[in-house]
Amino acid sequence: MSLGSEIDLAALEADPDPILAQLRADEPVAYIDALEMWFVTRWDDVAAVEADYETFRSATEPSFLARALGTNMLTLDPPEHTRVTAMIRPEFRSSGRSGSFVTEELTAMANHVLDAVEPGGFDVMTSYAQPLAAGALATVLGLDHHGASVMWSWCEGLCADIANFENDPDISKRTEVVKAELGEAIRERIAEANEGDNSAIARFVQAGATPEEIINNVRLMISGGINEPRDGIGLVTWVLLSQPELRERVTAEPSDMRRLIEEVFRVYSPVGTVTRQATRDVELGGALIKEGDLVSGVLRSINLDEAHWTNPMVIDLDRREGAHAAFALGTHRCLGEWLGRQEVKVGVERLFARFENLRLDPAAGPVELTGFEFRGPKSVNVLT
Ligand code: HEM
């Protein structure tokens, strides 16, 4: 019996690392019956999948993502993907709208969110990381007049249908309401866009994107570009509060915060996988993948691959083993990675600067990570 046929999804969600380690060792390309797709768990094999978009396409059939959000960059392959991202990517570089937001507004936004937390103690995830990540993306896009909590409710609504694997009609109906409301907000923003408007949405219009391209891709950004920096802020905060030697090191050498963030992204990979579909029969890691099969490159696994990293579970600020894969490796490498990293860095720095005596709340019990596809702390309760 194959390992893949025995994998239990609840166990994978609860604690994926031992299961992935066993797959890497014994069945590196495994068919997971419970998900009806292949898991590719070694670094070299995932790198090969990511490099070959002609054999492993992103425009999968069926696609939950395209159903929930409409056709967007993550459901396209080159050359269409190249055409769409050329209009959108510039605003997520340091030279675009994200850059001016980070230099001029992010620190003040973090301070403002901190002004509103409960002074004695609070949950970093819901009271700080979430409103900061939602507010940051809203501001870059030019949707900030709707407020961070509306932005968050759009994110939750969209994500519910992306994960609606049972095709529950009530969930789809609720998401339709969110999609219509958000579509209207984006359409208004497109109609207002003029020469002097520096919001990312206005710049997408100026770059020649159609309203449908803008709406579907902004939906994608809202579904992925809030949860991940939120989880990043929560994870780095938890690591600093639970590993005092790392806190001491970063306090003594603040420039090491960048290395810490990269190591936390590597060890905890908030986005677990990338999903592709084989366009032909292909052999990979000793397995025969058939045309049409879905193939999941498991980023969480390759970021801990013993053949690629020395002592992979250790957060090592002196590691010099190249870039990790938490933002993926290929054509669809994260559009928002520069912005996301800045949100985590400034977010964590502001939090620790405001509360020098910050510590985990012992009454709340240990911090628990949940999820497989998206994995982060449920809550990080702190005392000030
Ligand atoms: C900071 C933590 C973040 C992590 C760990 C992360 C991770 C990832 C990963 C792994 C992918 C590849 C997905 C795939 O190929 O299936 C991706 C793509 C993407 N991410 Fe992020 N992301 C983060 C932040 C953001 C932010 C802040 C945005 C805001 C716009 C964003 C927007 C996107 C978009 C639009 C794509 C699709 C790119 C394409 O198809 O070419 N992400 N992200």
Give me the pLDDT at residue 228, please.
97
**Distance (Å) of CA 171 to CA 62, 149, 160, 165, 372:** 18, 20, 7, 11, 21
The 10s digit of each residue's pLDDT in 128-152 is 999 999 999 999 999 999 999 999 9
CA dist., res. 373 & res. 384, Å (int): 32
CATH number for the domain formed by residue range(s) 61-275+331-383: 1.10.630.10
Closest CA to 214 of 99, 72, 92: 72
Separation of CA 291 and ligand 1 centre (Å): 27
- Note the pLDDT of residue 245: 97
List the chain domain ranges: 61-275+331-383
In this prediction the pTM is 0.96
Span from the CA of 245 to the centroid of ligand 1 (angstroms): 31
How far, in Å, from the CA of 346 to the mean position of ligand 1?
19
Name the residue at shortest CA distance from atom 6 of ligand 1: 327
Say whether pLDDT at 53 is over 80. yes
Question: How far apart are the CA of 221 and the centre of ligand 1, in A?
Answer: 8
3-class state of residue 57 by DSSP:
strand
| C-beta atoms surrounding 161 within 10 Å | 23
**Nearest Cα residue to 57 out of 45, 70, 75:** 75
Statement: residue 122 has pLDDT above 90? yes
Query: Ligand 1, residues 335, 344, 345: which to mutate, most atoms within 8 A of Cβ?
Result: 335
What pLDDT digit, counting tens, does each position of 265-305 carry?
999 999 999 999 999 999 999 999 999 999 999 999 999 99
Atom from ligand 1 closest to the CA of residue 330: 15
Instruction: List the residue whose alpha carbon is closest to atom 20 of ligand 1.
Output: 334
Ligand 1 contacts CB of residue 272 (under 6 A) = no
